[in-house]
């Protein structure tokens, strides 16, 4: 499933080829993923519009466009869901089986495909208003994190997955960050001390930045979509210290890594490096 680093990789790739492109026509293959925008509304808004840039907010992609009439700017809010891919290909290339929306850009075509159909491509930007701070921005400071932890009754792992608390951290990087910070995933968020919040803040930023750098390093410059065939999943998993390493030795202490299920999602941790007993909260 694409997480923040993979979405960032897609955004950077799209920004190399899309800005300045005019949309000649729009073909909608799966109207359900446009909701609540109606297919005809999307088509009318986009035909003749020009793509200015693509941004990321959490795991959402935001396409900024200038409209055909040069009046109000437009935004498309998109999400890759579990299996979404975005690509810009020569117009003559055959469409993928699971195409959702295609934008005809003249000699090239933008294709959003999604086999499992959990993604989005819509004019509705409302979901963005509910997102917490961007983890790689200055707004995500150790102090802000500590204050937010104080007000939470969630286990720390669930807190990190709550997009209103911090935007874009998913299951993989939550486990990795908690391991690096030495915090057990079942600890109550409010028991995380100010000193631990500093470690956690740094750990979240580090795991995300390293994953973005790794994705960029793999990228040959032409292949920027997420979820291509080949060994990218294997390469990625070799970077993880605890995620998906159930019963393997901890890279720090050699203790066996454990897996538990929290809110239906797997958490991986080292019982020695991440003790379950909360330390007394220090302020
Ligand atoms: Zn350990």
DSSP string, the chain: ---HHHHHHHHHHHHHH-TT-B--EEEES-GGGGTTS-HHHHHHHHTT-EEEEEEEETTEEEEEEE-TTSSS-EEEEEE-TTTEEEEEEETTSPPPTTEEEEEE-SSEEEEEEESS---EEES--GGGGG----TTSTTS-HHHHHHHHHT--SBHHHHHH-TTTSTT--HHHHHHHHHHHT--TTSBGGG--HHHHHHHHHHHHHHHHHHHHHHHHH--SS---SS-SSTHHHHHHTT-SSTT-TTSBPTTT-PBPEEEEETTEEEEE-TTTS-SSPPPP--
pLDDT of residue 169: 95
| Crossing angle of helices 194-218 and 4-17, rounded to 10° | 40
**Does pLDDT of 280 surpass 80?**
no
In the reported structure, the alpha carbon of residue 274 is separated from the centroid of ligand 1 by a whole-number distance in angstroms of: 7
In the reported structure, the alpha carbon of residue 269 is separated from the centroid of ligand 1 by a whole-number distance in angstroms of: 8
In the reported structure, the alpha carbon of residue 258 is separated from the centroid of ligand 1 by a whole-number distance in angstroms of: 10
In the reported structure, the alpha carbon of residue 74 is separated from the centroid of ligand 1 by a whole-number distance in angstroms of: 49
In the reported structure, the alpha carbon of residue 256 is separated from the centroid of ligand 1 by a whole-number distance in angstroms of: 8
**Does pLDDT of 237 surpass 80?**
no
CATH-assigned architecture of domain 4-129: Alpha-Beta Barrel (3.20)
Model pLDDT for residues 117-163, shown as the tens digit of each residue? 999 999 999 999 999 999 999 999 999 999 999 989 999 999 999 99
In the reported structure, the alpha carbon of residue 182 is separated from the centroid of ligand 1 by a whole-number distance in angstroms of: 9
| Domain boundaries defined on the chain | 4-129, 132-269
pLDDT of residue 238: 66
pLDDT higher at 18 or 233 = 18
| CATH 3.30.540.10 describes domain 132-269 | no
pLDDT of residue 108: 94
State the catalytic residues: 2-3, 59, 265
State what percent of residues in the chain have pLDDT above 90: 82
Q: Do domains 4-129 and 132-269 have the same CATH topology?
A: no
pLDDT of residue 230: 36
């Amino acid at each position: 499933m694409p997480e923040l680093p993979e979405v960032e990789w897609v955004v950077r790739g799209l920004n190399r080829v899309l800005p300045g492109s005019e949309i000649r026509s729009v073909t909608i293959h799966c109207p359900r993923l446009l909701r609540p925008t109606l297919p005809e509304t999307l088509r009318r808004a986009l035909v003749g519009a020009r793509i200015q840039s693509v941004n990321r907010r959490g795991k959402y992609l935001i396409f900024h466009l200038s409209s055909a009439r040069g009046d109000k700017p437009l935004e498309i809010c998109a999400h890759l869901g579990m299996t979404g891919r975005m690509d810009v290909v020569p117009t003559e290339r055959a469409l993928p089986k699971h195409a959702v929306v295609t934008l005809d850009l003249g000699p090239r075509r933008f294709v959003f495909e999604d086999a499992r159909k959990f993604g989005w491509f819509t004019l509705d930007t409302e979901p963005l208003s509910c997102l917490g701070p961007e983890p790689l921005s200055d707004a995500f400071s150790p102090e802000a994190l500590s204050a937010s932890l104080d007000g939470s009754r969630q286990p720390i792992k669930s807190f990190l997955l709550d997009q209103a608390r911090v935007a874009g951290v998913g299951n993989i990087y939550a486990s990795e960050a908690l391991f690096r910070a030495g915090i057990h995933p079942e600890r109550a968020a409010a028991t995380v001390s100010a000193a631990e919040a500093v470690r956690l803040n740094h750990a979240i930023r580090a795991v995300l930045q390293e994953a973005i750098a790794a994705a960029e390093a793999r990228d040959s410059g032409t292949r920027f979509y997420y979820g291509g065939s080949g060994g990218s999943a294997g390469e990625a998993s070799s970077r993880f210290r605890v995620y998906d390493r159930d019963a393997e030795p901890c890279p720090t202490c050699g203790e066996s890594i454990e897996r538990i299920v929290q809110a239906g999602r797997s958490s991986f941790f080292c019982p020695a490096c991440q003790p379950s007993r909360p330390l007394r909260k220090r302020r």
